[in-house]
Amino acid sequence: MKMTNESEEEKPIDMEFKLKAALKCSGSLSGEMDPSEIEKFVTSCNTDLLRRGAPPGCGAEIVKWNVAKDKIELKIVSDRFVRAHDALLRVKKELGKLLGKHRIGIRGIEIEKYKIALEWKAEGELKIHKLPFVKEIKQEKERLELLLDVDESALDKRIPDRLIRLVEDKRDAARWKGKSEHWELLFESDKKPFLFDKDPTEEMLQRDWIQHAAGRGQYIYGPQLTRIFRALEKILLDEILMPLGYKEMIFPKFVAWDVWKRSGHAKGIYPEAYYVCTPKTRDPEYWEDVMDYFKVTNEVPVDMIMGKIENVGGMCYAQCPPFWVFLQGKILANETLPITVFDRSGTSYRYESGGLHGIERLDEFHRVEIVWIGNKQQTIAHSKELREMYRHIFNDILDIEWREAWVTPWFMAQEGKAGLAELKEVGTVDYEAVLPYSDKWLEFQNVSVNGDKYPKGFSVKLQSGEELWSGCSGVGLERWAAVFLAQKGLDTENWPEKFKTIVGELPEVFKFL
């Protein structure tokens, strides 16, 4: 009798692996070895070695073999349990022992042909056109066939297994596609009277509070808006960070690829990243032709430059990943928990979709990033405390209309994954507020419990051995300001008393004719 209800489980997809390969040896085999010896070896592979670990009747099989001079040619077929490439590696190892007795070594593996077929129910219109390490893709109604382009080192790196996982991920992503991200209302503020119905960015441009900068999605902030930003920062410090014992740190703002590999962003950040490249060399002579070209044409030769630089990472996107290098590979003393730190040392970047946006959707923006680390209970409890305190700020100081929702965790969204509604402890709470001028809701802040994601990714452990968790919350100064100014307008006399006092008088510095 089966213990689980099989209909509720996802059936394992059937797979078929067909591999033609040769093991290249250090000397000729034909003279040295009795063919019956190899035949015996193959039989033992098929009855034992290539079935180990697989359910009865399953595993891999050498269906054809041939000895030609210094090569042993093999054809291996298998199911999902001992995949043909794993089978080949097992064979190589065992055969090595056998040949060793004849003073022959195995030099390497040559792969002639490797075909993988998967039982495949494509979701929707998912077509797979191109895959790395794949020469040919045949997609039929319920079957996906991949003709691989791999060598021995690719087998060592487990490329075939990762390929299978990749196509499975693509199928899962297609399942989510079209379905909206998860969104569940947690809290809603009182309705508030709106004092303004214009786009605050437009209004600030007219008043010379801000100017368009030279880059896309980038502004230069004059003294008035900067004063508002600093007031918002002060509220965050006074109401949350100081009372909760947060200490300031300075997180890196250039993010090397290794950080994004560990944080998971290297899976999907590409369409939105601001890439950073460094010179291939600092030798001025190497750059002389670029300088000469500029001096002669007054144009920067960007194509020429592209050949002289190399991509090493990108600019800050999510703010906390590079912080984790501070703890990388370390064991934290129990007594230090919970750890609470924040950073406000620089700019963040997103390559946003084209067209003009206001300060609510920028390529370059400014954020205070808050990080807390503890055991599971501490981390969850801290996130609740934070949420209480944010509620106080939005209700009692900024006096805005806003709401809180449980959404797809930010790190999954940034890795290109869809929402998991079933997550209850790990996940993201988004804060949204309505912009009266457009009647759209804007996400202006979040609080996330990231589970053990970062400690795992950066190999950070706790002295006690207990699981280490973390959370983070990003306060976008432009977003806070966009929401506040959209609802309250730019005239300080209409602002809530408490906030007005914190901001003080807005400085007037520039006057243009």
Asked if 132 contacts 31 with a C-beta cutoff of 8 angstroms, the reply is no
> Which is catalytic among the residues 404, 446, 450, 478?
446
Rounded to a whole number of angstroms, the minimum distance from the CB of residue 316 to a second copy is: 9
> Which is catalytic among the residues 25, 361, 399, 401?
361
Distance (Å, rounded) from C-alpha 147 to C-alpha 404?
Answer: 49
Which of these, 124, 31, 14, lies nearest to 70 by C-alpha position? 31
Q: Does residue 11 interact with a second copy by CB under 8 A? A: no
CA–CA–CA angle 507, 510, 511 (5° rounding) = 120
SS3 324: helix
Q: Does residue 282 interact with a second copy by CB under 8 A? A: yes
Q: Give the footprint of a second copy on residues 401-430 (CB under 8 A).
A: 416
Q: Give the footprint of a second copy on residues 13-72 (CB under 8 A).
A: none
* Helix ranges (DSSP H) in 58-158: 84-100, 152-156
Tokens of 387: 């949420």
Distance (Å, rounded) from C-alpha 495 to C-alpha 195?
Answer: 9
Beta bridge partners of 67: 72
Q: Among residues 17, 41, 196, 221, which is the contact residue for a second copy, using CB under 8 A?
A: 221
Q: Rounded to whole angstroms, what are the CA distances from 429 to 48, 53, 387, 450? A: 53, 44, 9, 11
In the residue annotation, 45 being an active-site residue is answered as no
Q: Does residue 180 interact with a second copy by CB under 8 A? A: no
Q: Give the footprint of a second copy on residues 68-107 (CB under 8 A).
A: none
- Quick one: 190 or 283, whose CB is closer to a second copy? 283
In the residue annotation, 350 being an active-site residue is answered as yes
- Quick one: 14 or 288, whose CB is closer to a second copy? 288
Q: Does residue 220 interact with a second copy by CB under 8 A? A: yes
CB atoms within 10 A of CB 295: 8
Characterize the bridge pairing of strands 402-407 and 71-78. Answer: unpaired
Distance (Å, rounded) from C-alpha 366 to C-alpha 475?
Answer: 8
In the residue annotation, 479 being an active-site residue is answered as yes
Q: Among residues 28, 139, 189, 226, which is the contact residue for a second copy, using CB under 8 A?
A: 226
> Which is catalytic among the residues 320, 364, 432, 478?
320
Q: Does residue 512 interact with a second copy by CB under 8 A? A: yes
> Which is catalytic among the residues 262, 344, 472, 478?
472
Distance (Å, rounded) from C-alpha 224 to C-alpha 316?
Answer: 26
> Which is catalytic among the residues 79, 369, 401, 404?
369
Which of these, 418, 411, 417, 415, lies nearest to 182 by C-alpha position? 418
> Which is catalytic among the residues 51, 171, 262, 350?
350
Which of these, 449, 408, 405, lies nearest to 430 by C-alpha position? 405
The angle, 0 to 180 degrees and rounded to 10, between the axes of the packed helices 84-100 and 35-44 is: 140
Rounded to a whole number of angstroms, the minimum distance from the CB of residue 372 to a second copy is: 12
Q: Nearest 5°: phi and psi at 310? A: -135, 145
Rounded to a whole number of angstroms, the minimum distance from the CB of residue 97 to a second copy is: 31
Q: Give the footprint of a second copy on residues 158-177 (CB under 8 A).
A: 159, 162-163, 165-166, 169
Tokens of 192: 């508030």
Distance (Å, rounded) from C-alpha 251 to C-alpha 271?
Answer: 24
In the residue annotation, 352 being an active-site residue is answered as yes
Rounded to a whole number of angstroms, the minimum distance from the CB of residue 86 to a second copy is: 17
In the residue annotation, 361 being an active-site residue is answered as yes
Rounded to a whole number of angstroms, the minimum distance from the CB of residue 119 to a second copy is: 21
* Helix ranges (DSSP H) in 178-222: 200-206
Q: Among residues 320, 341, 397, 481, which is the contact residue for a second copy, using CB under 8 A?
A: 341
In the residue annotation, 25 being an active-site residue is answered as no
Q: Does residue 504 interact with a second copy by CB under 8 A? A: no
In the residue annotation, 316 being an active-site residue is answered as no
SS3 411: helix
> Which is catalytic among the residues 430, 432, 450, 478?
430
Distance (Å, rounded) from C-alpha 254 to C-alpha 411?
Answer: 19
Q: Does residue 213 interact with a second copy by CB under 8 A? A: yes
Q: Give the footprint of a second copy on residues 295-314 (CB under 8 A).
A: 295-298, 300, 302, 305-306, 308-313
In the residue annotation, 446 being an active-site residue is answered as yes
State whether the Cα torsion 459-462-468-470 is positive or negative.
negative
Q: Among residues 2, 31, 101, 513, which is the contact residue for a second copy, using CB under 8 A?
A: 513
Q: Give the footprint of a second copy on residues 247-266 (CB under 8 A).
A: 247-261, 266
Beta bridge partners of 100: none
- DSSP H or E stretch at residue 166: helix 159-176
Q: Among residues 98, 117, 137, 290, which is the contact residue for a second copy, using CB under 8 A?
A: 290
What track of x and - describes contact with a second copy for positions 109 through 148 (by CB under 8 A)? Answer: ---------------------xxxx---------------
Q: Give the footprint of a second copy on residues 455-484 (CB under 8 A).
A: 463
Q: Does residue 3 interact with a second copy by CB under 8 A? A: no
In the residue annotation, 443 being an active-site residue is answered as yes
Residues with a known catalytic role: 320, 350, 352, 361, 369, 430, 443, 446, 472, 479
